[in-house]
Amino acid sequence: MSRSRMAVAALMIPVAAGAVAVLGAGAASALEPYSGEGYVAVRFDENETRFISATNAGELLDLIPNEFWSVSLEEGSVFENEEYVTSATIDQLVDEAAARGGMISFTINDPAIWSKNISIIQQW
């Protein structure tokens, strides 16, 4: 993926976050940004995750080729997870988290530190 396409893909995460806030999935304060060594992230609470699922906003991120993202599935996920890779789409991961009353997080990673540019994390 070219740098310009990766930049566009990286912008989709804050755009999705803004859409959740504007369209009223809950209190804007429920959106939790966080960061660590070599990554910045946003965690959507249970209501926002359900909203993202209901509007299929995860499909926007499915435009990112699989080789650029990793996944951390919650214990009990129906999707296979080997070495942070799954055959599920990002939209399916969001849908599963929402169906279980959980949350979804997206990280944008520094490629000098992490092997994948984006991570999807399920929590319930």
Q: Which of 107, 105, 100, 106 is nearest to 124 (CA)?
A: 100
- Count CB-CB contacts under 10 A for residue 124: 17
pLDDT digits (tens, 9 = 90+) for 48-79: 999 999 999 888 888 888 888 889 999 999 99
Each domain of the chain, given as residue ranges in start order, spans: 3-123
Phi, psi torsion values for 3, nearest 5 degrees: -60, -40
| 6-20, 52-66, 86-100, 103-117: segment of lowest average pLDDT | 6-20
108 in Cβ contact with 117 (< 8 Å): yes
pTM (two decimals): 0.75
